[in-house]
Amino acid sequence: MATTRTAVRVQPAFDDAGAVRKVIEAAGPFWPLSRYAGNPEEMQALGGRSGSDNGGAAPSAFTPPWFRQDFALAGRPVVADAGVILDNSRFVDAARAVYGEAAVVRPSTVYVNVMGPTPFPFAAHLDVPAFRGVTRADHPIWLLKVMKTSGLFEAWRVWIATAVSWFYAGPGGDFYYWPDGPDDAHAVERAPFDNVAVVADNEATFHGVGPLGRPGDRMPRGLSHESRLVRGDGEWLVVHDDAVVASYTDEVVRITVSWKADVHADAAAAARADSGADCLDLERVVAMFLDDLHARGIDAALPSDPLRDRTWVGLLGTTYVDPSPAIG
């Protein structure tokens, strides 16, 4: 386990926040957050709404104006000059403050979310976890989430430090997080954000965003996975079917920079992870679930297809529940 579950506030987040913003504005296009989810359940796992704005339609029926682009993957920039974000020593130092001074911190990922005004929150959620041998590269997000909730696989969980920072000075868009668990008091960062970041284990620390914008702000309708956000002349343009359906000034757009690093407790733990020793596989995961279910007195049978058997998937979902706190 990490040495603490407390988040670390970093200010200043960047040596040159203006340079970071220039990198973001030169990038694009940004794609809807829903594009990163393979199905409605994965959208919920990424923090999306559980229903639409018109009374409970499936999440796939509604695409909010939340857009994302990857800036670094697998420890390498994929956008020009994104190293100014990836190679931030302040975030590395903060990760060690969370996980321990001996921790080996390896920056891996940067992505940027750009959000237009929305009258509802980005629900409190946990980021998608990873385990040695079982990651989202070849396993569904629902399985990873229930593995984390169960607590059975903490010895294999990949520690991932996340630094979240923002560019936004308008109304709303407050960042809520629960550093001591969902049953304790939340902390909050409010706009105007002044070159500040919060570094935490976001696979274990609930976090979310309050409603963004002013009452009466309108959202573009009819967006889909193929819609995109691009930078125009001093503004942001939402494009759908090659037509501009909305435009936002910088004052109303909330930019979130997310930096992630793989963390190991010390050099020995890093070497063990690098060697691939003692990794999980699906058979072992299922066996551990079955043992725990039987210990709870639940009569569960070995599923023939543990990734698709609806009875099995439903049983795990109802047995291992980690309710998220409410924003507001």
> For 115-171, how does the pLDDT look when each residue is reduced to its tens digit (9 = 90+)?
999 999 989 999 999 999 999 989 999 999 999 999 999 999 999 999 999 999 999
Instruction: Say what the pLDDT of residue 42 is.
Output: 53
What is the pLDDT, as a whole number, of residue 57?
Answer: 32
Q: Which tokens go with 212?
A: 């963004």
| Type of residue at 292 | D
Q: Measured between alpha carbons, how far is 17 from 168 in angstroms, rounded to an integer?
A: 12
CA atoms within 13 A on the CB side of 7: 28
Q: What's the pLDDT tens digit per position in 252-280?
A: 999 999 999 999 999 999 999 999 989 99
Q: Is the pTM of this model over 0.85?
A: yes
Residue 325 CA to residue 328 CA, distance in Å, equals: 10
DSSP 325: P
SS (H, E, C) 275-302: HCCCCCCHHHHHHHHHHHHHHCCCCCCC
With CA atoms as reference, report the closest residue to 142 among 208, 63, 68, 46: 46
Q: What is the pLDDT of residue 49?
A: 46
Note the pLDDT tens digit of each residue in 56-109.
Answer: 333 345 789 999 999 999 999 999 999 999 999 999 999 999 999 999 999 999
For 244, the token pair is: 């501009």
Asked: is 8-144+157-279 a CATH 2.60.120 domain? The reply is: yes
Which strands make up the sheet holding 175-177, listed edge to edge? 122-125, 207-209, 175-177, 187-189
pLDDT category at 191 given cuts 50, 70, 90 is very high
Q: Distance between the two ends of the chain, CA-based, in angstroms? A: 30
* pLDDT of 215: 87
How far apart are the C-alpha atoms of 51 and 36, rounded to whole Å? 17
The stretch 189-199 carries a mean pLDDT of: 96
**What stretch of H or E contains 135?**
none
pLDDT at 259: 98
CA 10 to CA 26: how far, in whole Å? 25
H-helix segments, the chain: 17-26, 40-45, 83-86, 89-99, 141-150, 267-275, 282-295, 310-319
What's the chain's average pLDDT? 90
